[in-house]
C-alpha cells in the first residue's frame, strides 16, 4: 500500500504539472489574436476493489491518474475593432488558411496586409490562400466583377496582385434620358456627359421645340441633338434631328431620333417608352435626368476586403472590381486539428480533410460572413484560467504531500525492520 501511495502521488504530480502547463500557456496567449486555448481531461488508472460487507456499495483504491485528452476550446473569442480594412474576423465557423511548410496551415488570426510585392500575407509573412479572379492581364483590369466565384478546395493559391493596376477607358455607347418637358410651347433642353475614344469629356445636348404641325389628340415635339466639346461648346462633332410624339396622356409613343456620333463613336440614344423615359405632362414640374455608360481610365487607389472575403480593387475614377476571394475552410471535426504553433493548425486523421460549403446551385462558397476592421481575440477566459490554475496548484501540493508521506512511511518501516 505504501508503494501504491507513492506511485499514485507521482502520477498526480505529473498530470497536475501537465495541466498547469496547459492553463499557463492559455493565459500567456490571452492577448494573442486568433488563439484557440486547450482544455485538459484526466482519467483514472486501474482500480483495486476492496472487500466490503455492504451489498449496496463497493470500495475501490485508485492507482493514480493519466492525461485522457487535450481538447481545443471551441468558444468564439470576442471581436476587436482595428484601423485596417484587411483585418478580418470570421463571424461563425470556419478557418483561414496560409501557405505553410509544404501544406496549408489553418488559423483564426485574420491580421492580414499586403506586402511590397502585392501579396496578401499574415502578420508573420505567410501567404494567405484564396481564389484569383483571373481578370488582370499585366497591369490592366480585363473585366469588372462584383464578386469572385470561389474555386474548389484543392485549387486555392496565394493571393498576389500588381501594385500598379489600370481600369481601362470605356467610351460611351449608350445614353438614356428621362424627365418631363410639359405641354407649353417653350424651349426645353437636356444634356448628358459622354466620353469619346480619346478619353475626352464631351456633351450630348438635346433641344425640344414644339412642332408647328400638331396631330391631335396627342402632342409632337421636334428634337435637335448635338455632340460638342464640353470645354469649347463651339466645337461640334455631330448634329441630328428627329420627331418625338406623345399621346393625350403625355406618354411617349414614338421617336425618330435614335443615335448620334461622338467624335468617332456612335452613341445609341434611348428616350424611353410610354411613361418610362421622356413624358409631356401638363401641371407637373419640368425635369431632366440622364445616364450614360462608359468611364475614364483610372489608376489603382488601393485594395480592400469586404464581408464576403472578396478582395476589391478601387480606382481613381471611382470604379471598383473584385480581383480575388479569401478562402474559408471547414472541417468535420475542428477539435481533431493538430496545433502547429500558437495560432496555426494542420489537418489530422481526426479532423478530416478540409471542405468548402456549397450553395443551392452547387457552387463552392465560404459559408460564413466576415467582418473587416475586426479581429477575433483569444477565446481563453482569464477568470476560468486563473481558477483552474489555483485548483491544479492545490492538487499538485496535495500529491506532493502524499509522496512525502509515503516516503516517510517507507523510512519508518525500514527503521522498524532494522
- If you search the block for the grid coordinates 401638363, which residue do you land on? 282
Position 64 scores a pLDDT of 57
Least confident of 113-127, 144-158, 362-376, 397-411: 397-411
| Percentage of the chain modeled with pLDDT above 90 | 66
- By the 10 Å C-beta count (0-12 exposed, 13-18 middle, 19+ buried), 259 is classed as middle
Cis peptide before 340 (omega within 30 of 0): no
Q: Work out the number of other CB atoms within 10 angstroms of the CB of residue 66.
A: 13
More confident residue, 409 or 304: 304
* Tens-place pLDDT, residues 98-133: 997 788 999 999 999 999 999 999 999 999 999 999
Domain boundary, last residue among 275, 292, 309: 292
What CATH number is associated with residue 253?
2.60.98.20
Please name the residue ranges forming H helices in 193-350: none
Q: List the grid coordinates of 21.
A: 502547463
Domain boundary, last residue among 271, 292, 313: 292
Position 7 scores a pLDDT of 61
Position 10 scores a pLDDT of 65
**Shared domain check, 305 and 163:** yes
**Shared domain check, 309 and 252:** no
Domain boundary, last residue among 237, 262, 292: 292
Least confident of 49-53, 198-202, 315-319, 381-385: 49-53
- By the 10 Å C-beta count (0-12 exposed, 13-18 middle, 19+ buried), 159 is classed as buried
More confident residue, 321 or 410: 321
φ, ψ of residue 334 to 5 degrees: the values are -60, -35
Considering 61-65, 358-362, 384-388, the range whose residues carry the highest mean pLDDT is 358-362
* pLDDT mean over 164-192: 96
| Percentage of the chain modeled with pLDDT above 70 | 84
**Shared domain check, 366 and 388:** no
* pLDDT mean over 310-326: 96
DSSP state of 102: S
* Tens-place pLDDT, residues 180-212: 999 999 999 999 999 999 999 999 999 999 999
**Shared domain check, 157 and 53:** no
Containing structural domain, residue 254: 174-292
**Average model confidence (pLDDT) across the chain:** 87
Least confident of 2-16, 188-202, 337-351: 2-16
**Shared domain check, 36 and 179:** no
* pLDDT mean over 274-293: 95
**Shared domain check, 112 and 40:** no
**Shared domain check, 288 and 178:** yes
**Shared domain check, 70 and 83:** no
Inform me whether the pLDDT recorded for 12 exceeds 70. no
Position 86 scores a pLDDT of 92
**Shared domain check, 139 and 85:** yes
**Shared domain check, 389 and 248:** no
Q: State the pairing for strand pair 276-279/174-180.
A: parallel
- With CA atoms as reference, report the closest residue to 311 among 326, 298, 292: 326
Half-sphere exposure of 30 (CA within 13 A, CB side): 11
Element (H, E) at 389: helix 382-417
Domain count, the chain: 3
**Shared domain check, 184 and 272:** yes
**Shared domain check, 399 and 305:** no
* pLDDT mean over 145-171: 95
CA gyration radius for the chain? 37
- By the 10 Å C-beta count (0-12 exposed, 13-18 middle, 19+ buried), 247 is classed as middle
Amino acid at each position: 500500500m505504501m508503494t501504491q501511495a507513492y506511485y499514485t502521488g507521482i502520477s498526480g504530480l505529473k498530470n497536475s504539472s501537465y495541466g498547469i502547463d496547459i492553463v499557463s500557456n492559455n493565459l500567456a496567449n490571452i492577448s494573442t489574436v486568433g488563439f484557440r486555448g486547450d482544455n485538459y481531461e484526466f482519467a483514472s488508472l486501474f482500480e483495486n476493489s476492496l472487500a466490503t460487507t455492504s451489498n449496496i456499495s463497493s470500495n475501490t483504491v485508485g492507482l493514480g491518474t493519466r492525461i485522457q485528452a487535450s481538447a481545443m476550446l471551441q468558444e468564439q473569442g470576442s471581436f476587436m475593432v482595428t484601423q485596417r480594412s484587411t483585418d478580418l474576423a470570421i463571424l461563425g465557423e470556419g478557418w483561414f488558411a496560409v501557405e505553410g511548410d509544404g501544406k496549408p496551415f489553418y488559423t483564426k488570426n485574420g491580421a492580414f496586409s499586403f506586402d511590397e510585392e502585392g501579396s496578401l500575407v499574415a502578420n508573420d509573412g505567410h501567404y494567405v490562400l484564396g481564389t484569383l479572379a483571373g481578370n488582370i492581364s499585366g497591369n490592366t483590369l480585363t473585366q469588372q466583377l462584383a464578386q469572385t466565384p470561389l474555386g474548389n478546395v484543392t485549387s486555392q493559391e496565394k493571393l498576389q496582385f500588381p501594385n500598379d493596376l489600370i481600369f481601362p477607358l470605356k467610351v460611351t455607347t449608350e445614353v438614356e434620358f428621362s424627365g418631363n418637358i410639359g405641354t407649353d410651347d417653350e424651349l426645353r433642353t437636356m444634356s448628358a456627359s459622354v466620353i469619346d475614344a480619346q478619353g475626352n469629356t464631351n456633351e450630348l445636348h438635346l433641344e425640344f421645340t414644339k412642332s408647328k404641325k400638331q396631330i391631335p389628340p396627342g402632342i409632337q415635339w421636334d428634337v435637335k441633338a448635338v455632340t460638342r466639346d464640353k470645354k469649347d461648346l463651339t466645337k461640334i462633332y455631330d448634329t441630328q434631328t428627329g420627331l418625338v410624339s406623345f399621346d393625350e396622356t403625355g406618354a411617349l409613343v414614338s421617336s425618330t431620333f435614335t443615335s448620334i456620333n461622338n467624335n468617332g463613336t456612335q452613341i445609341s440614344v434611348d428616350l424611353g417608352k410610354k411613361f418610362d423615359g421622356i413624358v409631356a405632362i401638363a401641371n407637373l414640374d419640368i425635369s431632366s435626368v440622364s445616364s450614360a455608360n462608359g468611364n475614364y481610365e483610372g489608376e489603382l487607389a488601393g485594395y480592400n476586403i469586404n464581408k464576403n472575403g472578396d478582395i476589391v480593387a478601387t480606382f481613381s475614377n471611382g470604379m471598383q472590381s473584385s480581383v480575388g476571394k479569401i478562402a474559408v475552410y471547414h472541417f468535420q471535426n475542428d477539435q481533431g486539428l493538430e496545433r502547429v504553433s500558437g495560432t496555426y493548425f494542420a489537418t489530422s486523421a481526426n479532423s478530416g480533410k478540409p471542405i468548402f460549403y456549397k450553395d443551392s446551385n452547387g457552387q463552392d462558397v465560404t459559408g460564413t460572413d466576415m467582418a473587416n476592421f475586426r479581429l477575433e481575440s483569444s477565446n481563453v477566459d482569464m477568470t476560468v484560467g486563473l481558477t483552474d490554475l489555483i485548483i491544479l496548484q492545490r492538487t499538485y501540493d496535495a500529491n506532493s504531500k502524499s509522496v512525502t508521506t509515503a516516503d516517510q512511511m517507507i523510512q519508518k518501516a525500514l527503521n522498524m525492520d532494522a
